[in-house]
Amino acid sequence: MVSRAYWEVLVTRRIRTFDEFRDAISDYRLPRVLLTALELDLFTAMGDQSWPLTTLAKTLKVSERGLGILCRNLASAGVLQKKGSVYKNSKLGATALNANHRAYRGGYLNLIKSHWTDWVRLAESVRSGLPLDHDVPDTPDYRRQFTWAMHHRTLEIAPAISAQLQLGQAQALLDLGGGPATYALAFLAKNPRLRATVCDRAAALEVAKEIAITHPAGRRLSYLPLDFSEEPIPSLYDVIWYSNVLHIYSPKENQAIFRRAHAALKPGGRFIIQDAFLHDREGVQPVEASLFAVSMLLFTEQGNTYTVSDTAKWLKQAGFVRIKPIPIKKGTEDWENGIWEASVPGPRPRRIANQTGSNRNRKVR
């Protein structure tokens, strides 16, 4: 998720002059300062105490001069507070960036850190058209780390989106490529009658289980280990949630997955897609969705970001109807206009229990 303020800078920026070109490139400086603080474990070392610069430099085993310049920049960015030569973590630094705090989002921070070194090698992928780790197989260990990263990425967005997405009378939801099941759990928490299944690779599902055990709605979650790009989806669902998977695959691969999703939905069932869609005719805006395609070049064999109109065409070819956006309040979305739904022809699923007079007054034991 890109914050609203940053989003506006990205969307409104157009590079026309040499100075604007230089300024755009110079944007690497603050990210490098922030990543250096993470590399030095600075936020963790500071915890919730105030630190004279000299003591902090000794603790981190770095030069006082270097740390002084680094901390001053961290303070001007707002992630540290400064009083003379004494520094203190901001609330963010003391929690999500602090490995000793329960709100630490280290899985995602580690992924972001590794992206810096990967993006430096972009020319290699542009030359070859292949991901950097083209020859490296997906190991269970990597899958676990990536799945934790996805959880730490979405743990605030998922409940916000679940609060705005009406699942109506749906009783069975499939979180296809659900990884840590952060979304499935958010849907379960909001809809007490719902049962959900998370489908992913076995190593990802192990992480989902670890998370679900600690979640109040975790008992209503089931696990489906399956490679859905190769195999059909068993069983039938009212809703399939397909979040941040579209961009991993080529148009052809997505079309095959859409056909499998269609076959795994009940009549009237809903296929809800969340992704970094391109919205303009030329397929260059929003900038964030265009930039995300660069990540797909670096890390996937065939992935890309897609226009809504192309995606809608593939959905229709798979037999879906009623293709429409699901509006999400600005600032709470994962991607700008990033949620679209399509339905299998037929009436929406209806709740059976509690509809007749005899059911209405029956006690639940």
Ligand X SMILES: C[S@@+](CC[C@H](N)C(=O)[O-])C[C@H]1O[C@@H](n2cnc3c(N)ncnc32)[C@H](O)[C@@H]1O
Task: Kindly list the residues in this chain that would bind ligand X in the complex (CB under 6 A).
Answer: 147, 150, 154, 177-179, 183, 200-201, 204, 227-229, 243-245, 248
- Minimum gap (Å) between residue 145 Cβ and ligand X: 11
Query: How far apart, in Å, are the Cα atoms of 269 and each of 81, 168, 192, 272, 341?
Result: 51, 11, 19, 10, 10
Output 19 or 227, the one with its CB closest to ligand X.
227
**Which residue do the tokens 């800078």 mark?**
9
- Minimum gap (Å) between residue 40 Cβ and ligand X: 29
Computed on alpha carbons and rounded to an integer, the radius of gyration of the chain in Å comes to: 23
Output 82 or 259, the one with its CB closest to ligand X.
259
- Minimum gap (Å) between residue 76 Cβ and ligand X: 32
What is the 8-class DSSP label of residue 169?
A: T
Output 15 or 202, the one with its CB closest to ligand X.
202
Helix, strand or coil for residue 64?
A: helix
Q: Is residue 323 left, alpha or beta, with left meaning phi > 0 and alpha meaning psi from -120 to 50?
A: beta
Output 280 or 301, the one with its CB closest to ligand X.
301
The residue among 251, 252, 272, 250 whose CA lies nearest residue 261 is 272
Helix axes 29-39, 64-77, angle to 10 degrees: 120
**CA–CA dist 191, 163 (Å, integer):** 10
Output 87 or 146, the one with its CB closest to ligand X.
146
**Encoded amino acid at 107, one letter:** G
Output 244 or 311, the one with its CB closest to ligand X.
244
- Minimum gap (Å) between residue 180 Cβ and ligand X: 7
- Minimum gap (Å) between residue 131 Cβ and ligand X: 14
- Minimum gap (Å) between residue 264 Cβ and ligand X: 13
User: Strand pairing partners for 265?
Assistant: 237
Under 8 Å between Cβ of 206 and 219: no
- Minimum gap (Å) between residue 225 Cβ and ligand X: 8
Question: Residues with Cβ < 8 Å from 46, sequence gap 6 or more?
Answer: 56, 80, 87, 88, 89, 93, 94, 98
Q: Which residue is nearest to ligand X (CB)?
A: 177
Output 34 or 155, the one with its CB closest to ligand X.
155
Output 88 or 144, the one with its CB closest to ligand X.
144
- Minimum gap (Å) between residue 33 Cβ and ligand X: 28
> From the centroid of its chain, how far is CA 185?
14
Q: Where are any strands of DSSP class E within the chain?
A: 50-52, 80-83, 86-89, 172-176, 195-200, 221-225, 237-243, 265-274, 321-325, 339-343
The residue among 235, 227, 224 whose CA lies nearest residue 256 is 227
The residue among 144, 148, 49 whose CA lies nearest residue 106 is 148
- Minimum gap (Å) between residue 108 Cβ and ligand X: 11
Output 74 or 240, the one with its CB closest to ligand X.
240
